[in-house]
Amino acid sequence: MLVFLIKKTWQRFVATALSSVVFGIISVSLVALINEIINAKGERQTEFFWVFAALAISGVVVQLISKLVAEQLSEHSQAELRKLVADKTIEAKISHIELQGDAKIKSCLTEHSLKVAGFFMSMPGILTNAMIVLGAFVYMAWLDWLIFLFALLTLVLGSVSYSFANNVAFKKIANAAAMQDSLFQQFDAITDGIKELKLNRSKRAFFKLEVLHPAIDALRKERIEGVSILHMASSWGGFLIFTFIGGALYFLSQQTGEESQRIMSGFALLFLYMLTPLETLLANIPRAFAAQASANTIKTLTDELMSDDGNSVQVFKQFNRIQLHALCHRYYHEQSDDIFSLKPIDLEFKQGELIYLVGGNGSGKTTFAKVLCGLYEADEGEIVVDNQPISGAGLDAYRQLFSTVFGDYYLFDRLLNVPCDQLERKGNELIRKLNLHHKVSIESGRFTTQRLSQGQRKRLALVVAYLEDRPFYLFDEWAADQDPVFKDVFYRELLPELRNKGKTILVITHDDKYFSLADRLLKMENGCLTEVTQLPITQTPALA
């Protein structure tokens, strides 16, 4: 995933890396130059001062460039990650989205993308400090190769112990990243389930004390343990550095002469200057590991969201008939805790038909509707449109025949991909017909408000579906939470009007008083779909 981001932002990445490396080289050069100025005399010292001034000014400019480009790199990286996750989710199969869950997707769009972007923001500091440490070692080797070997041995010992600690810490940080996704699910429950929590004091207390707080504490504990291990390893590294400094200075103090004094002052300056870069470098390692863990989580999500292939040459704008041949679909049924199956369905829909679908709760009506309009793929059988079989690659083209309002519909704040300049007037007429004009209207393609009741929002969703002007309309229990007056408008005015325009309409309903208005009546029982013929209203069965 990090490689993907580097490829997407390679120009800024290269600019950030180069400017950071150059600034690191300039910084350590200034330290070396200070030592030379201290030990130089006469004109030589003046020359060093001019070089020092040039390097100092260059360093300020390069550091500014590094920070500015790094800020852009961080923001672009986060934007690219969010686009990737959002696009992958939008293009994925619905069954795969449901399998991953909302919490994981939201976590990747927020927390995980932010951590990865934070790593790129800290990259200048990591590279600059790494170059300072590296340059310091090079200068050490030039001053005294024996002390350099001692420094190298200290570095190897610190690296080995730090690497071991990192492996342990990384597992905890990666585990914390997975726990973060689970915690987001509980955060959603706070707002989504607030009515249930408010109405039941014991349930509210149990959720807080036994579900939410333990999840928060578990994440805190895992993160603290992981970071604590890294900090302990960092402290161990600091101890080794001070041991090295003490040993090197003791060794140099035993020597005499002008050259020895120059070497000692050089090492003293280097040690003092290296401490902060080393601490900063070690402190950024946990952030780098957290970013890697988050990047892995995002990569896993995007890999598991299999794309819903829409690259079909088929294009459907109208149809005469849709045929279902032995169509089957299986899914997990929560109520029975078992695999539920739609029995083989053979059915035909013709243009301009109004069909009602009835059945008890959990009988499979909504699942059948989602298979019919191509949201779920059939496990067996096929869908044929005007003698053209619909394959997996052609499902996206097939779906364009449908306009739907499901029970779990989502109402966007604007009309999407609708020529609002042509249909805005029609939309406002429908809003008036549904008695919403005193609450909301369409202006410049947007709704003036969404602060509506559930029933009002559903009426607005009906307006959006109507304006899409698709050949097949599917309504799932649309009238369930509507007042009688709006039910009448829906069943007696809007549905016949759509049918008269040649639209095919499938309505999932329990409103038996309107059954006589349908051309056909379908019934779903335990996954088995049958067609009811010549059913008088007085014999309409009571439905759950």
User: Where in the chain are the domains?
Assistant: 2-304, 321-539
The pLDDT score that the predictor gives to residue 377 is 87
Summarised one tens digit per residue, pLDDT across range 195-234 is 777 777 887 888 888 888 988 888 888 888 888 887 777 7
Q: Are the CB atoms for 66 and 16 separated by under 8 Å?
A: yes
Q: What's the chain's average pLDDT? A: 81
Q: Is 79 exposed, middle or buried (0-12, 13-18, 19+ CB in 10 A)?
A: middle
Count of H-run helices and E-run strands, the chain: 17, 12
User: 49: how many CB neighbours lie within 10 A of its CB?
Assistant: 12
The pLDDT score that the predictor gives to residue 257 is 61
Strands 354-359, 520-525: pairing kind: parallel
Q: Are the CB atoms for 104 and 184 separated by under 8 Å?
A: yes
User: Mean of the pLDDT values across residues 230-253?
Assistant: 72
Query: What confidence category does residue 159 fall into, taking pLDDT thresholds of 50, 70 and 90?
Result: low
Question: Which tokens go with 507?
Answer: 């309505």
Rounded Cα distance between 106 and 109, Å, is 5
CA 407 from centroid of its chain's CA atoms: 25
- Please tell me the CATH code under which domain 321-539 is placed: 3.40.50.300
Bigger pLDDT: 497 or 227? 497
Record the pTM: 0.68
Summarised one tens digit per residue, pLDDT across range 447-468 is 888 888 888 899 999 998 988 8
Which residues, in sequence order, are bridge partners of residue 446? 414, 443
Report the phi/psi class of residue 364: left, alpha or beta, with left for phi > 0 and alpha for psi in -120 to 50.
Answer: left
Q: With H, G, I as helix, E, B as strand and everything else as coil, classify residue 483.
A: coil
Q: Is the pLDDT of residue 504 over 90?
A: yes
Bigger pLDDT: 200 or 256? 200
The pLDDT score that the predictor gives to residue 349 is 95
Instruction: Name the CATH superfamily housing domain 2-304.
Output: ABC transporter type 1, transmembrane domain (1.20.1560.10)
Residues whose CB is less than 8 angstroms from the CB of residue 297 and which lie 6 or more positions away in sequence, other chains included: 107, 108, 112, 177, 178, 181
Backbone angles phi, psi at 74, to 5 degrees: -65, -50
Query: What confidence category does residue 473 fall into, taking pLDDT thresholds of 50, 70 and 90?
Result: very high
CA 74 from centroid of its chain's CA atoms: 16
Bigger pLDDT: 444 or 333? 444
The pLDDT score that the predictor gives to residue 508 is 95
| Of 457, 152, 98, residue with least CA distance to 304 | 98
Q: Is the pLDDT of residue 375 over 70?
A: yes
Q: Is the pLDDT of residue 526 over 90?
A: no
